[in-house]
Chain A
Amino acid sequence: MNTRLSTRLSNWFGYASPATFYPLAGKMIPWFWALAAVFGILGLYISFFVAPTDAQQGEGYRIIFIHVPASWMSMFIYLVMAFWAALGLGFNTRLSGMMATSLAPTGALMAFLSLWTGALWGKPMWGTWWVWDARLTSELILFFLYIGFIALQSAIDDPRRADKAGAVLALVGVVNIPIIYFSVKWWNTLHQGASVSLTRSPSMAQTMLLGMLLMALAFWMYAIAVSLTRVRAIILERERHAGWVEELSEVQS
């Protein structure tokens, strides 16, 4: 019944079946790599050569050009992951679960990068590697949520059950993330912890915003490219016994 339902749905969603998506993803990957490179080069140029030295923080503030995009992407990827997971849970499509599984490591990487760069930024700015700043703390909890998702999925052998259990966890997490964020923020203001404030002239804020946006786009394109690469591997692993896999040119050669 499941397979009949999923084939019917694959007609609705067009590319929702792994067999059509696998070659399509293969064609898309190089384009996303190219976009990531273009945005990355432009963003790096702005962050190192156009954006002027900060009056208060010197050159150390340039870390913001990867710290902020990594934080944005870590949150955004969790949302996308939960979206695919919900789709998989609701419509029983195989591909959505694979997409969620494939996005999780990239999201965890972004969360880790955000924490790493946050620590390296905090040391020269605040004098410590770690401050219990609201944003850093919620980023840490988001990292834990990613680790929990990955650990749960890898502990379950049956991929279908792993997909669904992961989906429930991702959805519970998505409901919780705003609550966690606001409670951490409340906690932080009550304890008068450090808060990140960058004071600078308005013209500088513009170039900074442009640099961060370009870097965020580069990270976004990178995340798409790498998760598509991974989802292709997952498709091959799971659809091993499907007829279409054996007819692929890379399998034949």
Chain B
Amino acid sequence: MSAPAGQRPAGSTLGVPQEGAANSTERAQSANTRHPLPREGGRGDGGLANEPSLLAALSAVIRRDLLLAMRRKSDVLTTLFFFIIVVSLFPLGIGPEMAMLRQIAPGVLWVAALLATMLSLNRLFAADHADGTLEQMALSAVPLGVLVTGKVIAHWLLSGLPLALLAPVLGLQFDLASGSLAVLVVSLLIGTPVLSLIGAVGAALTLGVRGGGVLVSLLVLPLYVPVLIFGAGAVEADLTGLGATAHLSLLAAFLALAAFFGPWATTVALRIALE
């Protein structure tokens, strides 16, 4: 595992110009660093070595996507600032009355998180589709589902996790108590992976389709409704003193369902798009 990591272009991200040409060579290079990995599965002796190599492929995909995202920090930061701005707009539109703001805080934060996640869905597969990496992945020895799972995890690490960590700061704008802030973070930590998993299906379906960016919101947002209800509901239940355990456990159930079906549906959709 350490060898391919060492091959990666190690240039400091500060010195790398953010240009298309430089970027595409980096993409190609880091795609190559991933490439030898699938063969480890074939090299391994028997079924025992199979499982670690799948995990290796998974972590390789995650690390590759994170590395690429580090090269283009602006993408990640744009989503985060979108989240911050949308949440900050609501008090301006509704008025600074704290009692009202406290009441709408869970819904506002969750809807903004939903929209921010959706904005970032396009970059999930688009770049890999454009430079042919996705087709290599589909042909590699590692099951596409594993690679897709890796990409979704990377997407969550880059969009859902920062949102969840940033949310308490924004919650302070809405005068949420520290207990509710904790529930908000936990609900976002459980809920945003579901958003990434469902969103991946939509992103795969609209891959290379005209008007894909708007279309994906049309496909994905109705499916986000249960997560929104229970995510915002958890914070609200805590605010009203009902306790958020029921909501959070249902969110966890959604996560289990989505983790089971999501990558599989995404794989099918990707194969359709690549045909």
Contacts and interface: CB of A to CB of B under 8 A. Distances in A.
Answer yes or no: A and B touching, Cβ < 8 Å: yes
Interface of A: 89, 141, 144-145, 147-148, 151-152, 155-156, 161, 164-165, 168-169, 171-173, 175-176, 179-180, 183-184, 186-187, 190
B272 A165 contact: yes
B229 interface: yes
Contact of A179 (B209, B226, B269): B226
A172 B223 contact: yes
Task: Give 10 nearest A-B pairs by CB, closest first.
Answer: A183-B226, A144-B222, A148-B219, A164-B272, A187-B229, A183-B229, A148-B218, A155-B209, A168-B269, A165-B205
Given A152-B215, A168-B201, A169-B205, A186 B229 contact: yes
Nearest to A140: B222
Given A152-B219, A184-B225, A187-B233, 4 more contacts: A141-B222, A155-B211, A172-B201, A179-B226
Q: Looking at chain B's contact residues, is the secondary structure mostly helix, strand, loop, or mixed?
A: helix
B19 interface: no
B268 interface: yes
Contacts of A190: 233, 237
Interface residues of B, number: 30
A72 to B, nearest CB: 20
A157 to B, nearest CB: 8
B205 A152 contact: yes
A65 B201 CA distance: 38
A13 to B, nearest CB: 22
Contacts of A179: 226, 254, 257
A168 B219 CA distance: 11
Given A168-B272, A183-B230, A155 B219 contact: no
